Amino acid sequence: MEFFLDTADVDEIREIAAWGILDGVTTNPSLIKKSGRDFKEVVREIAGICSGPISAEVTAMDTEGMIAQGLALKAELPDNVIIKIPCTAEGLAATKVLNQAAIDTNVTLVFSAAQALMAAKAGATYVSPFIGRIDDTGHDGMNLIAEIMEVWARYDISTKVLAASIRHPTHVLQCIQLGAHTATMPAKIFRQLMKHPLTDKGLEGFMKDWAAVEAAGNA
């Protein structure tokens, strides 16, 4: 499974990249706004830290505008940047054109298996179903991942399912169990996934015993 970091904070990206497990980064206009930096500048810096796919989102709402922005971003930014496109009719049309130009895409804001399948048919490299936002409506977002993975298995689809809007470590575990190809999450979730009280307790015991070994002059 691929682990992506959902942020535009380069310090967080450096931290998680140093662990040796970071496969990619997703950004969006809200995360760029939060960073307070120039969009292209921060994406270039991110692409220099992580060699995996870096999602940079278009902001046009019409097909021609999305295509123009996507082509411009690919021309101006590092090779590992992929184009993030909203799951709309206009977005699917743009995805098709960019796919024909051999440009990888991430179709975002997916909330149904039908949307995911249509994005895949348009040639999306990734589709991003939003788990947490479905949970916010009182429904179970993991049901969407299960539905998509069932469709993928039935039709042998190559587009990767990128689970997004992940709110807690259990979401990640469930995505792993359901076979989602990728999960993008904030740095907080990465840290929570690494944390376990028994690991801390075991390490504390080992270090206490080793201190006794050293005190006895047997190190």
SS3 call for 104: coil
Instruction: Please give the C-alpha separations between residue 175 and each of 86, 163, 184, in angstroms, as whole numbers.
Output: 22, 7, 11
Distance CA 42, CA 194 (A): 27
Q: Are 158 and 142 in contact (CB under 8 A)?
A: no
- Residue 212: partners with Cβ closer than 8 Å, 6 or more residues away: none
State the DSSP H helix or E strand holding residue 109, giving kind and residue range, or none if neither: strand 105-110
- Residue among 74, 84, 121, 201 flagged as catalytic: 84
Backbone angles phi, psi at 134, to 5 degrees: -70, -40
- Residue 210: partners with Cβ closer than 8 Å, 6 or more residues away: 219
State the DSSP H helix or E strand holding residue 135, giving kind and residue range, or none if neither: helix 131-136
Is 74 marked active-site?
A: no
Instruction: Please give the C-alpha separations between residue 189 and each of 49, 135, 203, in angstroms, as whole numbers.
Output: 20, 17, 22
Q: Are 172 and 189 in contact (CB under 8 A)?
A: yes
Closest among 211, 209, 164, 156 to 189, alpha carbons compared: 164
Catalytic residues: 84
